[in-house]
Amino acid sequence: MKRLLILFILPLSLIGQNIEQIFSGKNEIYFSFDYKNKQELDNLSKIISLDHKTNKYTAYAYANKIQFNNFLKRDVKYQIINNNVYYNNISKNNWDYYPTYNQYVDMMYAFADSFPQICKIHSLGTLNSGREILIINISDNVYQRENEPSFLYTSSMHGDELTGYVLMLRLIDDILNNYNSDSYITNLVNEIDIWINPLANPDGAYAGSNNNVWGATRSNANFVDLNRNYPDPQDGPHPDGNPWQDETLMFMGLSDTINFNISSNLHTGAVVANYPWDTWPQLTADDNWWRHVCNEYADTCQYYGSSNYFTGFDDGIVNGYDWYEVDGGRQDYMNYFKQCREFTLELSNDKTPDPLDLPSFWNANYHSFYNYMEQSLYGLRGIITDSITGLPLEARVEIVNHDMDSSHVYSSLPIGNYHRYIYQGSYQFTFSKNGYHSKNINASIINNNITFLDVQLVPTSFVSIKEIKTQNKTTESIDLLGRKNNKTIKNLKINLNNDGSITKKIIIE
């Protein structure tokens, strides 16, 4: 196989050239510049898209024409970098290739066709280019909602960051083909509602043509960086000044429909587990939990990967804001607005590595892929119901003197199940919902273990039921608080009949 890397660094004399010449035949450019301090870097990050190669001395960035015009107003010296990689004579064995767009689509639909009992494909929508945003759902009861956490992997929202693209396809294949033969994978499928989207930006990945990833771009077809296009906890709904892109709306719609509990979005350009926050310097309420799960990911990669893999930064992990500020990122959106624990996973220094290297990245990461998926089963979990009717509730779960910055979670309908991930220790949990009495319960958590806690909430106001049947078959008027003629009912049992009526059996104190 032949691999050709084109790397041209254009001289500083180009600074004064016409911007139309710089963008001739391009919708975005890649460039570098030196900066004085983190404050300057954070300010510039609001008008351009910083790249993961950024270090303490030199920044690397992408910009479309409007962004670059704004950057030029800052009078910062820069260097244009043309960094293109393409491949020919591709081998298609052992997952060591980048599929064409049509091969990708065929592969995704073939997964669902081959494993219909545990695999279902969804199209989140079709872009103006005609390309689809596809996602696979894997579960032992794929057509039914269960008392399970919902887990999401999504890759390559930057179209030229493609290591995760192939690795997610291989992960789907590995799960499906090992179900009922590997007990560990079988248990994950049986206990977790798994969602995997290998390619979140097909227009960027196939910007050159559907036949290969030559010419892949970071941005989408509208020259927008999708990882700056989400609502931001600090900077509001449109921090990048762009309308929400179709890709953004599709994933926001998905997160509105599926209440994901844990997720990760996969990138390249560095090797590190980047945990929240990205947009502001304060730490999350669960910073120690994030360090625990990210260290677990990195440590496992160090064990199975090549020398020095996942050893940079703080032994393979980094707080996002400490690295550089990102506003409008998917990670912060999911954590703050959707109460989903998501971190950003950087898999390779090369954005689109030699496809022959993809098997080695798989060998280094697949144990960690499964470990992080398994984390969705741990922590405090249970079902919240109405104490009178037994019906499931969508209620708030909050940790006293701990939660902040939207770190609480909610139980999810139609099951009423909740999942609160927290570093080991003893905590007081508050369960609350409008129209119900709040309930405080103490519980202890052990890392990488499950604590089960089902909760019943008592309503604060009740609708009277005029016609009911009691033990002596007389017609009574009893409200749902459990009172009759100002006397307390000692024992109250309620049955919901098939015809919609309620049968009560009462014993008056």
Give residues with Cβ within 8 angstroms of 390, minimum separation 6: 494
Which of 287, 405, 429 lies closest to 339 in space, CA to CA?
A: 405
Is 346 marked active-site? yes
Phi, psi of 198 (to 5 degrees): -75, -25
Retrieve residue 417's tokens.
Answer: 């199940």
Of the residues 132, 346, 374, 398, which is catalytic? 346
3-state secondary structure of 239: coil
Retrieve residue 293's tokens.
Answer: 């799960």
DSSP letters, 160-223, are T--HHHHHHHHHHHHHHHHTTTSHHHHHHHHH-EEEEES-S-HHHHTSSBTTBSTT--SS-TTS
DSSP letters, 340-383, are -EEEEEEEESSSS--GGGHHHHHHHHHHHHHHHHHHTT-EEEEE
Helix (H) or strand (E) holding 19: helix 19-22
DSSP H helix total and E strand total for the chain = 13, 24
CA atoms within a 13 Å half-sphere pointing along the CA-CB vector of 20 = 0
| Cα→Cα distances 392→191, 240, 415, Å | 20, 39, 6
* CA separation for the pair 444, 3 (Å, rounded): 54
Cβ atoms 328, 275 nearer than 8 A: no
* CA separation for the pair 353, 180 (Å, rounded): 33
**Structure letter (DSSP) for residue 36:** S
Task: Assess whether the previous peptide bond of 459 is cis (omega < 30° from 0).
Answer: no
Phi, psi of 40 (to 5 degrees): -65, -40
Cα 47 to the center of its chain, rounded Å = 25
* CA separation for the pair 494, 509 (Å, rounded): 17
Q: Which residues are catalytic?
A: 346
